[in-house]
Amino acid sequence: MIISLEAVARRSAMLACAQSVLFFGLFTATWFLDDTFSPYIPWPWLVGISLVMPILLLLKSSPEKTADRLVKYLPPQPPSQQFMNIVDEIAIALIEPVESIQTYASPVANIIMLPCSGKEVVVATTGALQRLNRDEIQALVAAQFAGMRDRWCRLATRAEIMWWLVPCLLPLTLFALLINKPWAAVFCFVSVFVWAFSPRNIEHARDLCADVAAVRTTLNPQALGSAMRKLAEQAEDASTIKIVPWYLPINPFIVIPKRFKTSVTVGGSDRQWTEADEVRMELILRADRADAMARGDDPSKYSRKEFLRRSSQLGR
C-alpha cells in the first residue's frame, strides 16, 4: 500500500509544481500584453518566457533560505530529555545529524522542522509534549524531518513557498496601472482573491509527501493517525499560533497549519465556514489516510481528489 501511495504523492508534488508554475506563468505573460490583449513579442517567445521564468523561480525557492529567516524568530529553549531521545532516534534512522533541538512555549500542539543552511532545527511546542504520547510525537517528527529529506516532499515544499508569494503581487497592481499594463494590474488584483479562496491543495500535496516519508521511517501509521486526530481537536486554536510574522511562509515547516481567524461565505449564506473548519478537515483527512494504511486498505483514496471533495463540502 505504501508503494502505491508513494506514486500518488509523486504525482501530487508534480501537480503542485505545475499549478504554481502556470499561475506565475500567467502573471509573467500579462506584462507583455497591451490593452488590446496583443503581445509585444511573438506568441512562441511569450509562452517560452512565461514558463521559463516561473520554473527558475520554483528552482530558486530554497527551503533552506526560508528556514534561515524563520529561525531568527524562534527563541531557543532547552528540550526535555524524552523529546531529545525521540529526535535522535529519527535522525539515526535517516542518517542525518540534528544540531538544534528546542521547545517553544505554545499550548497548541505542533512540531516544527527548519532545514537551515548550517544546521537542522527541530522544535516541539509545549502543547505537543503535554498532549501527545511518545509514538505520536515520533510520527510527527518523522513527518517533518523525513519529509525535508524526501526529494518529492522538498519539491512540493518549493511549490508551496512559491504559492505563498501570491499575496505579494497585490502591491504591483498600482505599479502596473502607472506604466499602462492593465492586464497585469487586473491579474495582480484578482490573484489575491484566487489565492485566498482556492482549496489549499498545494499545501496538501506537501503534507501527503511528508506522511508517506513518516510511515516509511517509523512503520507506524496508526500513531500518525492518532496524532492527527488529536491535532484536529485544536483546530479552533490554530489561529493563535504566533511563531513568526504573518507574512512569512511557516506552514511548509509545521504540522498543524497557521491560519487567520476568519470565516468564509460563498453564495450569500448558502455556504459558510471558518478557517478552523478548514484546518480540522485537512488534519482529519490525513488521519483517515494514516488509518487506512494501518488497516491495510487503499490509502490513495485519501489524496488530492478527496481533499478537493471535502473542501467543496465545507459549510454545507
Amino acid at 185: A
Q: Which residues pair with 115 in a beta bridge?
A: 120
- Of 162, 185, 191, 180, residue with least CA distance to 30: 185
Q: Cα–Cα distance between 26 and 183 in angstroms, integer?
A: 10
188: region left, alpha or beta (phi > 0 left; psi from -120 to 50 alpha): alpha
What was the pLDDT predicted at 38?
Answer: 86
Q: Is 103 helix (H, G, I), strand (E, B) or coil?
A: strand
Q: Which residues pair with 112 in a beta bridge?
A: 123, 254
- Of 158, 156, 169, residue with least CA distance to 195: 169
Q: Is 122 helix (H, G, I), strand (E, B) or coil?
A: strand
What was the pLDDT predicted at 75?
Answer: 83
Residue 81 CB burial class (10 angstroms; 0-12, 13-18, ≥19): exposed
Taking CA atoms, 250 is separated from 37, 70, 236, 316, in Å, by 37, 7, 18, 30
What was the pLDDT predicted at 229?
Answer: 96
Domain residue ranges of the chain, discontinuous segments joined by +: 2-61+156-197
Per-residue pLDDT of the chain (316 residues; tens, 9 = 90+): 677 888 999 999 999 999 999 999 999 999 998 888 888 889 889 999 999 999 998 988 889 999 999 998 888 788 888 899 999 888 888 888 888 899 998 899 999 999 998 788 999 999 999 999 999 999 999 999 888 888 899 999 999 999 988 988 888 999 998 998 999 999 999 998 888 888 888 999 999 999 999 999 999 999 999 999 999 999 888 888 888 888 888 889 999 988 877 777 766 567 788 888 999 999 999 999 999 999 988 888 899 899 999 998 888 7
What was the pLDDT predicted at 267?
Answer: 61
Cβ atoms of 152 and 13 closer than 8 Å: yes
How far is the first Cα of the chain from the last one, in angstroms, to the nearest whole number? 32
What was the pLDDT predicted at 48?
Answer: 93
